Amino acid sequence: MRYEPFDAAFFTENRAQLAARLPQGAIAIVHSHDLLTTSADGSLPFRQSSDFFYLTGIEQEESVLIFDPSAPRPEDRERLFLRETSDLIRIWEGDRLTREQATAQSGVVRVDWTQHFEPALRRLMRQRKIVFLNANEHPRSGAELISRDDRFRRRLQDWHPAHRYERLAPLLHAQREIKSAPELAATREACRITTDGFRRILGFVRPGVAEFEIEAEFLHEFLRQRSRGFAYTPIIASGANACVLHYIENNAICQDGDLLLLDVAAEYARYNADLTRTIPVNGRFTPRQRQVYDAVLRVMRLCIHDLLRPGIDLRKEYQPAVGRAMEAELIGLGLLDPAKVAEERAKDGTPDEVKEEKRLYRKYFMHGTSHSLGLDVHDVHRRDRLVKAGMVFTVEPGIYIREEGIGVRLETEVLVGAQWNEDLMPDAPIEPDEIEALMNTGR
């Protein structure tokens, strides 16, 4: 394990909080992810289900948690099932967790091998009428793969059709929205490593460098600091490539006079950072580039210090407020006609009210401003749920002027507080003067 493991008390507390959310007499079953295959006999690196990791800390495939907090017998209240190892597995894949190691890692006292799962389940199901089952209910999920949780849900409902089945995801995701101290510590470490990666490349970027060389510099720094690597596929977008929101080819040569948009971050201990910075390839912003950059930076600071706060609705209040600020900046940049913006605003509250996604500013700022961050880069958060203290969100405004080949996006992570917000990446350079100074040191 590259990272310092969480104390088992973290996972024990997570299960205790979930127990308080379950109704009396309910049982919950959560499965690990599958090991995904590629072509021939290949497989992808294993990535544990975020929900399963959150409850157990176990990063092995073919694992199951039975959670029955109101069971009469204490030994039935938490049961963890793991794939039993063998000499052949040890030779080809290395050691798997022993039952004692799994207990030390997860805090679950009773650990058995997976071949004992179904007999134990049949006995426990006879004692319960309400069953909570898990599924990927992220609103942006487009996964077509059938997971272990999905397959199990279908089988169990065939075996026990008379039981009442409930969704575990809403309970678990509401709990995951508020970050605990261990989660924040891991997130801060991911942010620190990401900041070091960004500082590393400020002295490396110059005309003639390839986007993929910059990607390699980031990865070198991340791996050197015990990160598992990139939190997501990095975006290293120079020139007009920065106007493609999810540009991931990273194969162009950086040209003198262009901007370079970097949307890249590290993962640490399963928790993620999410950084975006935009820098001049030659180390100096042009007056127009600086003008656009400053506009985005002003909107970002407004979001952090004034708009993102407990009690606000991200969809109905926050994003429209960001839009109004962005409209003013785009007018100042000469990109929007103030008369047309005023005419559009005059329709607010009328039957033909302009929808937010169709407003004039969306030509130059077409994505959302904030998303939840945690075990997943786009972490669990229902868009209709109000912001609360203890949540972590990105703040990432941008302006994309395709006709000028300019794309500027800035992004950081914010811990929402009751009185004020904390920037979790305070040491990542963002002031344009500081960026220019760091890029030109030693040149």
Q: What number is the average pLDDT over the span 336-362?
A: 88
From 73, 140, 246, 443, the catalytic residue: 246
Measured in whole angstroms, the distance separating CA 280 from the mean position of its chain's CA atoms is 27
Each residue of 212-222: pLDDT tens digit? 999 999 999 99
Q: Is the pLDDT of residue 322 over 80?
A: yes
* pLDDT at position 141: 72
In the annotation, is 371 catalytic? yes
- Whether 48 and 32 have beta carbons less than 8 Å apart is answered as yes
Report percent pLDDT > 70 for the chain: 99
From 112, 177, 258, 274, the catalytic residue: 274
Nearest Cα neighbor of 409 from 275, 216, 247 is 275
Q: What number is the average pLDDT over the span 190-194?
A: 98
In the annotation, is 409 catalytic? yes
Using pLDDT thresholds of 50, 70 and 90, give the confidence band for residue 348.
Answer: confident
In the annotation, is 116 catalytic? no
Q: Is the pLDDT of residue 143 over 70?
A: no
From 298, 309, 378, 385, the catalytic residue: 378
In the annotation, is 221 catalytic? no
Q: What number is the average pLDDT over the span 180-192?
A: 98
Each residue of 147-167: pLDDT tens digit? 899 999 999 999 999 999 999
* pLDDT at position 39: 85
Report percent pLDDT > 90 for the chain: 84
Which CATH architecture group holds 8-176? 3-Layer(aba) Sandwich (3.40)
From 371, 376, 413, 436, the catalytic residue: 371
Q: Is the pLDDT of residue 279 over 90?
A: yes
Where are the chain's structural domains? 8-176, 181-440
Residue 96 CA to residue 85 CA, distance in Å, equals 6
Between the alpha carbon of residue 58 and those of residues 29, 71, 97, 104, the distances in Å are: 15, 23, 9, 10
From 177, 329, 396, 413, the catalytic residue: 396
* pLDDT at position 94: 81
Residue 272 CA to residue 230 CA, distance in Å, equals 9
In the annotation, is 150 catalytic? no
From 54, 247, 318, 400, the catalytic residue: 400
In the annotation, is 306 catalytic? no
Domain 8-176 shares a fold with domain 181-440: no
From 177, 221, 258, 411, the catalytic residue: 411
Residues with Cβ within 8 Å of residue 190, at least 6 apart in sequence: 227, 231, 265, 266, 267, 268, 269, 271, 272, 273
* pLDDT at position 443: 66
Residue 229 CA to residue 223 CA, distance in Å, equals 6
Nearest Cα neighbor of 148 from 119, 117, 126 is 117
* pLDDT at position 88: 82
CA-based max dimension of the chain? 75
In CATH, the number for domain 181-440 is: 3.90.230.10
Using pLDDT thresholds of 50, 70 and 90, give the confidence band for residue 131.
Answer: very high
Q: Which residue has the higher pLDDT, 443 or 205?
A: 205
In the annotation, is 411 catalytic? yes
Residue 148 CA to residue 163 CA, distance in Å, equals 20
* pLDDT at position 92: 83
* pLDDT at position 202: 97
In the annotation, is 41 catalytic? yes
Residue 407 CA to residue 59 CA, distance in Å, equals 39
* pLDDT at position 13: 98
Structure tokens given for 436: 């220019």
From 177, 258, 263, 413, the catalytic residue: 263
Nearest Cα neighbor of 113 from 81, 140, 91, 90 is 81
* pLDDT at position 308: 97
In the annotation, is 385 catalytic? no
Q: What number is the average pLDDT over the span 199-221?
A: 98
In the annotation, is 274 catalytic? yes
Each residue of 350-382: pLDDT tens digit? 767 788 889 999 999 999 999 999 999 999 988
In the annotation, is 4 catalytic? no
Q: What number is the average pLDDT over the span 95-108?
A: 94
